[in-house]
Amino acid sequence: MSMSNRKGGGKTRTVAGGGFNLSDTTTTNTVHPKILKQARQSGQLNLSGRGFTTVPDCVWNLNLDLPEEAKTISLDHSEERWWEQKDLTKLILASNSLNSLSEDLAKLSALVVLDVHDNQLTSLPKALGALSELQRLNLSHNKLELLPSELCRLSNLTVLQLQNNCLAELCQQIGDLHCLEELDISNNRISELSAHVGYLSRLRKFNLAHNKLHSLPREIGDLRCLRVLEATHNSLESLPLELGNLCRLEELYLRHNRLSAVPNLSACSSLKVLHLGNNCVEEVTAGSLRDLPSVSILELRDNKISILPEEISCLEGLERLDLSNNNLSGLPYCLGNLSHLKSVVLDGNPMKSIRRDIIMRGTNELKKYLRSRIEDPPTTSSQKVVEEGKAPSGLIGDQGGLDTHTIYQFKALDYSNKQVSTVPDDVWEVAAKAQLQSINLSKNALTELPSNLMVVVDTLKELYLGFNRLTSVHQDIGLYLKLTTLDLRNNKLESLPSEMSSLQNLREIILSNNRLPEIPEVLYNLEKLEILFASDNKIQSIDVSGFLRLKSLGTLDLQNNDIGQVPPELGNCTWIKSLLLGGNAFRNPRPAVLDKGTPALMEYLRNRIVT
């Protein structure tokens, strides 16, 4: 009986790369000839998860030993010619029980990829240095304490993964890996980084997270190709000025350190993402903000910041700003002028100059409030002439209440608080020509989605329909693919159409004060959703599985509903930075826990998970 049809006492499984089933009883230190044959044909061999304690000799001798098919004579010309075998270029030995690798590794000199992650390796053979063609090496999740200098002879290596080992240092020869583009040394015991890393001139991604670093060498500023630097969960108290020389750096993660100031990033003109949460920053200086013109995500949560300077307006591309759990009592009014800003998280600050109800309305309402506090400078006659030349002037709408120039200039229409059930046709004519991005129809008497709204279906990004008489939302809402903000508060909605699943750019939705018995299922399909307000409805339960799909969700308001139980698993949604649950029927968590803020609440929930 052939091996492919043999039945054993263990489970039958498919061996990767083998194309046939093998019983678990075969997971000894042997490899089936058919797998070896296929490896010679493809140049790839996957032996992961087979329980090996040592690598069989047939693997090291794969291209040296005479294969079984060569020992018999066949007149069948359809047989593949065994002598046309390929050198092994990819070897995967992951998830076994290997505690060492043989020096025979040198026999596989053509290897391009070697993956031995998730084993029990405590050391590496000197033969590793003989793999001159090697480009990708995965040694993660082992028990390595030292790296042999021979590893640094791999002149073609582009990816080196060393995370989750027991390394206390990197050998100085690490700088000899001139082709290295990705280096991951996270989750080790490294307390000092060699200055020789500065010679890794092609490095693009560098992960130092979860080590014991107190400082970084000045030479890190020589990594001019670096795009991503991950240094969270260390003990960094300061950063070298040379870090600001990384002109191609796009993402910088420095959470959970001991930094007391925003680092000098004067030449980091490409920086888009900066995470500085969970540090000891007390002040954000005007100069540090001027150095961040391209940043779109700025995370400063869990620090000691008491004042945010006016220079925050220099961050014209800012989209997300997380200031939660600081000492802020107010915000600069100019923050309201940042047109790209979609999310501001302020949970856990002692805000005094801004009412809580304004903050709870969401980012757009907060921005409007801040803008309203800015005093407009007097306009000269010459300025008026210039402005009037930008767009056609005139008054439209009932009683001529709208200025077409303003609509064209800001690509926004405010037709709120008119108490109308329909919007005049001349308003829609201007809306179509102006290619509007924002429309406010709140505080009217609308009973359905205006049909003429379709004139801006290709441009509309923000739609405000709060305080109307909507009992349902027409399925055509799914056609507004660029929509990022949707306000449906204070209506009579009991559900949302499934067609909304196409709104994959939606980041904020306000559903407060409706009649929803549950969070509409369609919302769990909106992967970019960041803000969800659903307070003052009739929601009875929390679907944790749905929220686990919303990895971008930062703010969730479920206050004043009929929720009878809070699932502890909700605490696993660690990306939620502001969670509001007050005013519901549940007894646990108690109000005292809710009052401690979101981080304490999430930790409380996680501690109640039964494993």
Give the closest residue to 540 by CA, choosing from 576, 573, 567, 511. 567
Residues 153-199: pLDDT tens digits?
999 999 999 999 999 999 888 999 999 999 999 999 999 998 999 99
Instruction: Name residues whose C-beta falls within 8 Å of residue 611's C-beta, 6 or more positions apart in sequence.
Output: none
Peptide bond into 589 cis (omega under 30): yes
Q: CB 374: neighbour CB atoms within 10 A? A: 12
Comparing 84-88, 89-93, 327-331, 472-476, the range with the smallest average pLDDT is 84-88
- DSSP for residue 172: G
Cα–Cα separations (whole angstroms), residue 14 to 285, 286, 576: 59, 60, 40
Average pLDDT of the segment spanning 208-220: 95
Q: Cα separation of 205 and 160, whole Å? A: 11
Residues 96-134: pLDDT tens digits?
999 999 999 999 999 999 999 999 999 999 999 999 999
- DSSP for residue 379: P
Give the closest residue to 413 by CA, choosing from 398, 392, 435, 391. 435
- Alpha-carbon dihedral of residues 351, 355, 358, 360, nearest 10 degrees? 60
Q: Cα separation of 165 and 259, whole Å? A: 26
- 279 confidence band (pLDDT: 50, 70, 90): very high
Q: Cα separation of 33 and 19, whole Å? A: 13
Is 545:521 a contact under the CB 8 Å cutoff? no
- 433 confidence band (pLDDT: 50, 70, 90): confident
pLDDT at residue 335 above 90? yes
pLDDT at residue 9 above 70? no
pLDDT at residue 370 above 80? yes
Pull the structure tokens for residue 523: 């919302």
Task: Provide the mean pLDDT of the chain.
Answer: 85
- 405 confidence band (pLDDT: 50, 70, 90): confident
Place of tokens 């206050």: 559
Q: CB 233: neighbour CB atoms within 10 A? A: 20
Max avg pLDDT among 28-32, 351-355, 578-582? 578-582
List beta partners, residue 14. 21
pLDDT at residue 78 above 60? no
- 66 confidence band (pLDDT: 50, 70, 90): low
Q: Cα separation of 460 and 404, whole Å? A: 17
> How far is CA 290 from its chain centroid?
25
Residues 36-60: pLDDT tens digits?
888 988 999 999 999 999 999 999 9
Q: CB 68: neighbour CB atoms within 10 A? A: 12
How many alpha carbons fall within 13 Å on the CB side of residue 389?
A: 6
Pull the structure tokens for residue 43: 């140049």
Please report, for the chain, the start and end positions of each structural domain, with discontinuous segments joined by +: 390-554
pLDDT at residue 306 above 80? yes
* CATH, range 390-554: 3.80.10.10
Average pLDDT of the segment spanning 329-341: 91
pLDDT at residue 375 above 90? no
What pLDDT is attached to residue 164?
96
Instruction: Name residues whose C-beta falls within 8 Å of residue 580's C-beta, 6 or more positions apart in sequence.
Output: 360, 535, 556, 557, 558, 559
Place of tokens 């040394």: 185
List beta partners, residue 253. 230, 275
pLDDT at residue 221 above 60? yes
Residues 493-541: pLDDT tens digits?
999 999 999 999 999 999 999 999 999 999 999 999 999 999 999 999 9
Residues 124-158: pLDDT tens digits?
999 999 999 999 999 999 999 999 999 999 999 99
Q: What sign has the CA pseudo-torsion 90, 91, 95, 98?
A: negative
